[in-house]
A and B are shown apart, each in its own frame.
Chain A
Amino acid sequence: MKSNTVKMAAILLASTALVAGCGKKKVDVLPPAADGTDYGTQPTDTTPTTGAIVPGSQEDFLQTVGQFGDRIFFDTDRFNVDTEDQATLQRQAQWLARYPNTRITVEGHADERGTRDYNLALGERRANSAKNYLISVGVDASRIQTVSYGKERPQALGSDEQSWAQNRRAVTVTVQ
Chain B
Amino acid sequence: MMPKNLHLKLAAFFALFLMPVVAQAQAPAAVPTLATDEPELVEFDTAKTRSIAVPALVAPSPADTPAGNSTALGRQIAEVISSDLRASGVFETQGPNGLRVITLPEVTAPQFDYWKARPVEQLVQGFVRVGGDGNLTVGCYLYDVGFGNETTRLGFNVPPREWRRAAHKCADAIYSKLTGELPFFDSRIAYIAETGPKGKRVKRLAIMDSDGANHRFITNGQSTALTPRFSPNYKSILYLSYVDGNPRIYVYDIDAGRQRLITQSRNPTFAPRWSPDGQTILYSMAVSGNTDIYKISASGNGTPIKLTSSPGIDVGGSFSPDGRQIVFESDRSGSQQIYVMNADGTNQRRISFGQGRYATPEWSPRADLIAYTRIAGDFRVGTMRPDGSGERLLTDSWQDEAPTWAPNGRVIQFFRTEKGSGKTSIWQVDLTGSNERKLPTPVDGSDPAWGPVLP
> By the criterion CB–CB under 8 Å, are B401 and A115 in contact?
yes
Q: Does chain B have a CB within 8 A of A128?
A: yes
Q: Which of B240, B246, B290, B336 contacts A118 (CB 8 A)?
A: B336
- Nearest B residue to A105 via CB reads B245
> By the criterion CB–CB under 8 Å, are A34 and B401 in contact?
no
The stretch among B211-219, B297-305, B414-422 that forms the contact with chain A is B414-422
> By the criterion CB–CB under 8 Å, are A112 and B268 in contact?
no
> By the criterion CB–CB under 8 Å, are B246 and A147 in contact?
yes
The 9 closest A-B pairs by CB, nearest first: A128-B289, A121-B291, A117-B271, A124-B286, A115-B359, A121-B313, A125-B289, A159-B419, A34-B199
Q: Supply 9 further A-B pairs (C-beta < 8 A) apart from A116-B227, A121-B286.
A: A115-B379, A116-B226, A117-B315, A118-B313, A128-B286, A128-B288, A129-B289, A148-B268, A154-B199
Q: Does chain A have a CB within 8 A of B392?
A: no
B residues within 8 A CB of A153?
199
CB distance from B252 to the nearest CB of A (A): 19
Q: How far is the CA of A59 from the CA of B153 in the complex (A)?
A: 72
- Nearest A residue to B245 via CB reads A147
Q: How far is the CA of A37 from the CA of B270 in the complex (A)?
A: 27
> By the criterion CB–CB under 8 Å, are A116 and B402 in contact?
yes
> By the criterion CB–CB under 8 Å, are B313 and A122 in contact?
yes
CB distance from A13 to the nearest CB of B (A): 19
Q: Does chain A have a CB within 8 A of B22?
A: no
Q: How far is the CA of A114 from the CA of B360 in the complex (A)?
A: 11
CB distance from A117 to the nearest CB of B (A): 4
- From 111 to 161 in chain A, residues with beta carbon under 8 angstroms from any chain B beta carbon are 112-118, 120-122, 124-129, 132, 146-148, 150, 152-155, 157-159
> By the criterion CB–CB under 8 Å, are A152 and B201 in contact?
yes
CB distance from B206 to the nearest CB of A (A): 16
> By the criterion CB–CB under 8 Å, are B360 and A117 in contact?
yes
Query: Binary interface profile of A, 58-78, with partner B (CB < 8 Å = 1, else 0)?
Result: 000000000000000000010
B residues within 8 A CB of A126?
289
> By the criterion CB–CB under 8 Å, are B200 and A39 in contact?
yes
Q: Which of B199, B200, B227, B360 is packed against the most chain A CB atoms within 10 Å?
A: B199
Contacts known (A34-B199, A154-B199); A117 close to B316, Cβ less than 8 A? yes
- From 369 to 402 in chain B, residues with beta carbon under 8 angstroms from any chain A beta carbon are 373, 375, 379, 398-399, 401-402
Contacts known (A33-B199, A112-B417, A154-B199); A120 close to B247, Cβ less than 8 A? yes
Q: Which of A113, A115, A127, A152 is packed against the most chain B CB atoms within 10 Å?
A: A115
B residues within 8 A CB of A42?
245
CB distance from B417 to the nearest CB of A (A): 7
A residues within 8 A CB of B402?
115-116
Q: 15 A-B Cβ contacts within 8 A? A: A34-B199, A39-B200, A113-B379, A115-B373, A115-B375, A115-B379, A115-B402, A116-B226, A120-B247, A126-B289, A128-B288, A129-B289, A155-B199, A157-B199, A159-B422
